[in-house]
Structure 1
């Protein structure tokens, strides 16, 4: 079965009643964890972006504290998992400022992580790629945010 385009889905949803649309959403939420997480964000957390960011930061803190530091192999796997999780939450939000703030937080945590990421080329490259990505995203934000995030980025570059 070939999936319909978003435009086709939008047209078809116009013909559904409110009750039918709700049933479709609930059915969608049962099939994938990500669908349920997105629906949770849209219904409960999209009103307070600051609260959402704090919740994600707390989860990132827990994930960093759970990293097995016995070898760089486990550290790399865990760091990549944390970054995947952050990117997923960024997709839910769709807000550029949220994206930059969460990625800056990730980089801060990674830079202060012990054992140092400077002893591992892969981790250092991952860190540098995120800094470059953030640097490209900052000009798309409001001027005040550009300055604030630019200062943080400068601190992370040194």
Structure 2
């Protein structure tokens, strides 16, 4: 089966009646969990970005609280899982500020972990890569936002 381009799909969707579009959206939602999550974001949460960020942060808190801290091995697996979740949530939003806020929160929570992640080279390197990534993402934002986020980043570094 040949997969069509987005332009071709868009042209085809413009010619469909409203009932067929509704049926296609519902079928997409049933097909995959990510599609359903994206539809949920677009329909219910996209109008309130701050509420969306707060709900994602509470989800991340639950993941951090459920983390097995007995071994760095288990911590690494859970931390990587949390980072994958953050990337998915950021993709739903398509706003750079949302991604920066979630990554700053992630790094803040990493600093609070006991035992400290800075005693483990792998986790410490993962943390440093996230800091570098945040710096790059901040550099493309508006000047006022850059200043605010850089202050938060400096607080993390101390």
* TM-score grouping bracket, smaller chain normalisation: over 0.9
CA distance in 1, matches of 2:33, 2:123: 29
Write out per-residue CA displacement over residues 53-80 of structure 1, whole angstroms, 9 at most, x where no aligned residue. 0000000011000000111110000000
2:71 maps to what in 1? 71
Runs of 4+ residues over 6 Å off in structure 1: none
Deviation string, structure 1 residues 56-108 (Cα, Å, up to 9, x no partner): 00000110000001111100000000010011000000001101000000000
Q: Which position in structure 1 is the counterpart of 2:152?
A: 152
In 1: Cα distance, 2:99 partner to 2:74 partner: 26
Q: Which runs of 5+ in 2 are unaligned?
A: none
The two structures have a TM-score, normalised by structure 1, of: 0.97
Q: How many residues align?
A: 158
In structure 1, the partner of 2:57 is 57
- How far 1:18 sits from its partner (Å)? 1.1
Which residue is 1:116 aligned to?
116
Q: CA deviation at 1:2?
A: 2.5
2:141 is matched with 141
- Which residue is 1:107 aligned to? 107
* RMSD of Structure 2 on Structure 1 (CA): 0.8
User: For 1:130 and 1:90, how far apart are their aligned partners in 2?
Assistant: 14
SS in 2 for 1:114: coil
CA distance in 1, matches of 2:29, 2:88: 16
| Residue 125 (structure 1) aligns with | 125
Q: For structure 1, which runs of at least 5 residues remain unmatched after alignment?
A: none
Deviation for aligned residue 1:5: 1.1
With structure 2 as the length reference, what TM-score do the two structures score? 0.97
Q: How far 1:154 moved relative to its partner?
A: 1.1
Superposed displacement of residue 157, structure 1: 2.0
Q: How far has the Cα of 1:111 moved from its partner?
A: 1.1
Distance in 2 between residues matched to 1:17 and 1:88, nearest whole Å: 31
- CA drift of 1:156 comes to 1.5
